[in-house]
Amino acid sequence: MRQTSTRQKNARGTYGEYGGRFVPDSIGVLLDELECAFDSAMADPSFVAEMDRLLGEYVGRPSPITECANLSRELKGGRLFLKREDLNHTGAHKINNALGQALLAKRMGKTRLIAETGAGMHGTASATAAALMGMSCTVYMGAVDVARQARNVSRMKALGATVVAVREGQGTLKEAVDAALAAWVEDPEAFYLLGSVVGPAPYPEIVRTFQSVIGREARRQFLEREGRLPDEVAACVGGGSNAMGLFSGFLEDREVVLTGVEPGGKGLEKGLGFHAATLCAGSRGVVHGFRTVVLSDASGEPAPVHSIAAGLDYPGVGPELAHLRDTGRARYVAVTDDEALEAFRRLCRSEGIIPALESAHALAYALKRLPEMKPDQALLVNLSGRGDKDLDTVFPEKHQKGFTVGAGGLNGIQSRGLFYV
Ligand SMILES: Cc1ncc(COP(=O)(O)O)c(C=O)c1O
């Protein structure tokens, strides 16, 4: 979406100097309608009860906490625990939010969902929710991501969704969000099911609310099994929904360190275009209708970004996470593609768990952090998703299939526009 013709600030949707709405009036009206529907739904015990029922008997919550005794022993330091969002139905945290928003859409009388996706996990979760609730679903996905997350494209198609490959720009998550927003403006009767804590208000609040189950559960489970809180919790940060979901449970516990792990790609020192570490290297700006920290080029436009993890390949970040950085409540670090790949390998081999490449970023941080911790200290990492979708990336000989996907680049797909997969 083009940045702003009209500015609409919404005090409720701001986090310090971030968030708000920078959108045309046509979208502002839709966002007002969404905010009213969300408030009424959250105040309705039958909506909350239906959501709880779905999270329990459809998603399989609560997701467990697993202690990684082997890795902890190998690293000779603190104890590592995982919050197992990979064990949710559809294999990631994205389903928590997709079901919440789809239920909201149903309550609003909507019959069509629009979604963007990077790694395909949010697209799959949206397609799943649409199938369950008898709605149609169109998922916009960058053409590079269609190639590198092909397994999830098949899953979305099997679930009855239409997948539209976006060939604009870098052909990754930013362009998918652009296309989904444009499609919403064209069909305002549809419901835009946004997948992370980004976008104009009230989306960051809605997504945080539906993902807060992660932090609520994790805090309770950890207290029950250990009789105390973890010393530190960590999560990877793309748009920031799994991090915000986890952090929200511990915000008031000032003694618990909150660490967000950003995609350092080929290395921050290589400069713009080689990473997507927004909070570590970006500056204040507006993207996709909200104010936040952005990686931008010299002309102020969102810069090209790169991460081996399609779900982290985004030039902006959730406004609340940016605010938590400025207030010092959360800290952010970056790990490289290679470090994430090494963490992927180690979790597979040492614990028998195949992590999503997104989640492997948080694990890569854990591999560095644990040796610095004392044996009685605990680090809880959100394992945001499972890694079946990434096997073609990790074992690249199977990956090419007619496309050459390079660092942040798209070769072999020349023309602009959209195509249906
Ligand atoms: C498994 C997994 N983890 C993390 C992310 C990053 O998104 P977010 O930062 O909103 O949690 C994605 C995005 O697709 C994902 O699929």
Angle at 295 between CA 291 and CA 296, to 5 degrees: 90
- Other beta carbons less than 10 A from residue 123's beta carbon: 32
Pocket probe mutation, ligand 1, options 90, 93, 388, max atoms within 8 Å of Cβ: 93
Q: Do 162 and 420 form a contact (C-beta atoms < 8 A)?
A: yes
- 163/237 same-domain check: no
Residue 101 identity (one-letter amino acid):
Q
Per-residue pLDDT tens over the stretch 282-294:
999 999 999 999 9
List % helix, strand, coil for the chain (3-state, nearest 5): 45, 20, 35
Ligand 1 centroid to residue 120 C-alpha, Å: 9
Ligand 1 centroid to residue 198 C-alpha, Å: 12
Ligand 1 centroid to residue 311 C-alpha, Å: 5
Low-confidence spans in the chain with pLDDT less than 70: 1-10, 397-421
What's residue 401's pLDDT?
47
Ligand 1 centroid to residue 136 C-alpha, Å: 23
Residue 319 lies in a domain: yes
What's residue 134's pLDDT?
98
- 44/82 same-domain check: no
Q: Who's near 142: CB < 8 A, 6+ residues apart?
A: 118, 165, 166, 170, 171, 172, 173, 174, 175, 176, 310
Q: Does any ligand 1 atom lie closer than 6 A to the CB of residue 92?
A: yes
Ligand 1 centroid to residue 237 C-alpha, Å: 7
Using CA positions, which residue lies closest to atom 14 of ligand 1? 311
Residue 25 identity (one-letter amino acid):
D
- 23/128 same-domain check: yes
- 86/100 same-domain check: no
- 18/83 same-domain check: no
Q: Does any ligand 1 atom lie closer than 6 A to the CB of residue 241?
A: yes
Q: Which of 172, 203, 234 is the last residue of a domain?
A: 203
Could you tell me the pTM of the whole model? 0.93
Question: In which residue are the tokens 């467990």 written?
Answer: 64
- 19/151 same-domain check: yes
Q: Which of 203, 220, 244 is the last residue of a domain?
A: 203
- 155/199 same-domain check: yes
Using CA positions, which residue lies closest to atom 6 of ligand 1? 238
Angstrom distances, CA of residue 105 to CA of 34, 102, 252, 339: 9, 5, 32, 40
Catalytic residue among 36, 68, 280, 323: 68
Per-residue pLDDT tens over the stretch 131-151:
999 999 999 999 999 999 999
**Phi-psi label, residue 115: left if phi above 0, alpha if psi -120 to 50, beta otherwise:** beta
Look up residue 414 and give its two tokens: 């020349």
Residue 369 lies in a domain: yes
CA distance 82 to 363: 9
**Phi-psi label, residue 228: left if phi above 0, alpha if psi -120 to 50, beta otherwise:** beta
Look up residue 401 and give its two tokens: 């299939």
- Strands lying side by side in the sheet with 136-142: 191-192, 112-117, 136-142, 162-166, 418-420
Range of the domain at 321: 62-91+211-398
Using CA positions, which residue lies closest to atom 10 of ligand 1? 241
What's residue 395's pLDDT?
87
- 184/47 same-domain check: yes
- 304/357 same-domain check: yes
Residue 286 lies in a domain: yes
Residue 403 lies in a domain: no
Q: Does any ligand 1 atom lie closer than 6 A to the CB of residue 320?
A: no
Residue 123 lies in a domain: yes
Q: Does any ligand 1 atom lie closer than 6 A to the CB of residue 121?
A: yes
Catalytic residue among 36, 89, 93, 236: 93
- 218/198 same-domain check: no
- 194/229 same-domain check: no
Residue 412 lies in a domain: no
Question: Of all atoms in ligand 1, which is nearest to the CA of residue 244?
Answer: 11
Active site residue 93: yes
- 188/78 same-domain check: no
Q: Give the CATH number of the domain where residue 164 resides.
A: 3.40.50.1100
SS3 75: helix
> Which among 160, 172, 153, 170 is positioned nearest to 392, based on CA atoms?
153
Residue 1 lies in a domain: no
Angstrom distances, CA of residue 69 to CA of 73, 77, 234, 405: 6, 11, 18, 37
Q: Which helix (H) or strand (E) holds 99?
A: helix 94-107
Q: Which of 170, 203, 236 is the last residue of a domain?
A: 203
Residue 409 lies in a domain: no
Domain count of the chain? 2
Q: Does any ligand 1 atom lie closer than 6 A to the CB of residue 239?
A: yes
What's residue 11's pLDDT?
76
